[in-house]
Amino acid sequence: MKREFYLQPVLWAILNFSLPTFSFAQTIAGGNSHTIAVCNNNSLQTWGYNAFGELGNGTTDDSNIPALVNSLTGITSVAGGANHSLALKNDGTVWAWGWNSKGQLGNGNNVNSNIPSQVSGLTDITAIAGGYYHSIALKNDGTVWAWGKNLYGQLGNGSNTDSNVPVQVSGLAGIIAIAGGDGYSIALKNDGTIRAWGYNGSGELGNGNNTNSNVPVLITSLTGITAISGGYFHALALKNDGTIWSWGFNNYGELGNGTNIASNIPVQVNSLTGIIAIAAGGEHSFALKNNGMVWAWGYNFFGQLGNGNNTASNVPLQVSGLNSIIDIAAGGNHSLALKNDGTMQTWGSNATGELGNGTFNNSNIPVQVTGLCTIMIGIEEFTKQHFVSVFPNPFNFFTTIHLDTQLDKAELNIFNIHGQNIKKIKNISGQTIPFHRDNLPCGLYFIRLTQDDKVIATDKLVITD
């Protein structure tokens, strides 16, 4: 249950970004009551609830400390469902383990597995997401595939029939990010708009009604979106101006707009700006600011807001004692934060060890995970010191990168969504950098400008056909 990306071409073409760039690869993830992390050697560690084998370590025993998933290597991204786990390998294949009653492991059967098995028929995958009983994958051609439970149409293929193998979501192209909730799914298109499908009883689809849909529908009131995240019955979107918008269930204030009234259209989260990442938990939400601080709101019975008490809040509150945070993720009733040194802080429910600190005690303030490997940060996040604009963006063959400062022997590095440095331009001078696509395929890329061994600017590029 987590996050990520994008923009409307006209808006993006004229916009100067002043927010930091953020890693696309999801290296930490929360399930309902378990946690997953990618180590910096591309192996996996998991901890928490394991009755269905969601830890993937060959047992069904809970663990309150991180345990290695022995059979997987080359992992770049992870995602958690209710009681199943997903991992994306660097060869574009997807692996799954845990609960499989609805086919959410995507391996052609409905048998639980406590070791990873490959999802059938998927290649060239660039992102994964877990819903409650379903799973979602994004291909490098911008199409979306889903499998598992489909009672509410959350697979988006025009039917309501479960599938234990991936099926293509109808009518989607140009998608760059995906998210899943309890019975619904969300996709972010490369024009900065959002499509949603599945359960809509509390307005989870954000389209102004409460009717379920087994095909994607447009959320008409949102543009300029850069990130998405799905909770149980609410969803979040991050705009390119650093504000957050939310919709759906709101009994505990998880929409963060100062009320406890559900909304089937997006509403703005109160008082937050300068946000660079978002995460929706079961019935709580939180956000990462560009100063490395974290804010949370919603359900707090288990301390998942991390502010030292257990009182729900319908407005954002600062999480206690956190700084230098570069990534966030949410579980059902617990929360996760990754520091810039590769360590992880957790808080909230810990009944089955999901905080990973060697106890089974809940915590309403962050605690450090015990015995954890150094977490893979992916593409690092950098505080931007200078404004950068890219025009046009998205682009087909050629674009121009413009800085608000003079460059002298600067270096431009291009990263793909897996954090791999795929292109480098050295000895740049002046304020304008012509950029040719050359042989780069369509997709989302990150740029990083350095000068005198210091990062001076970061941004995103989108290449289209």
CB 43 within 8 A of CB 78: no
pLDDT (tens digit per residue) in 176-187: 899 999 999 999
Identify whether the C-beta of residue 126 lies closer than 8 Å to the C-beta of residue 134. no
The CA distance from 218 to 464, in Å, is 21
* Ramachandran category for residue 378: left, alpha or beta (phi over 0 → left; psi -120 to 50 → alpha): left
Q: What is the pLDDT of residue 377?
A: 66
Element (H, E) at 244: strand 244-248
Among candidates 64, 58, 97, which has minimal Cα distance to 80?
97
The pLDDT tens digits of the residues spanning 325-364 come to: 989 999 999 999 999 888 999 999 999 999 999 999 999 9
Task: Report residue 386's pLDDT band, with 50, 70 and 90 as the boundaries.
Answer: low
User: 279: which 2 tokens?
Assistant: 């995460």
Residue 10 host element (H or E): helix 9-14
> Shortest CA distance to 228 belongs to which of 266, 171, 263, 201?
266
Query: 250-281 pLDDT, tens per residue?
Result: 999 999 999 999 999 999 999 998 888 999 99
Confirm if 183 and 4 have CB atoms less than 8 A apart.
Answer: no
| 235 conformational bin, left if phi > 0, alpha if psi -120 to 50, beta if neither | beta
The Cα–Cα gap between 300 and 335 comes to 11
- Quick check: 453 pLDDT over 90? no
Residue with tokens 């997006």: 266
Is residue 77 scored above 60 in pLDDT?
A: yes
Q: What is the CA radius of gyration of the chain?
A: 20
Closest CA to 354 of 342, 344, 340, 343: 344
Averaged pLDDT for residues 137-164: 97
High-pLDDT (> 70) share of the chain, %:
91
Write out the DSSP string of 65-78: EEEE-TT--SEEEE
Check residue 223 and give its pLDDT: 93
The pTM of this model reads 0.82
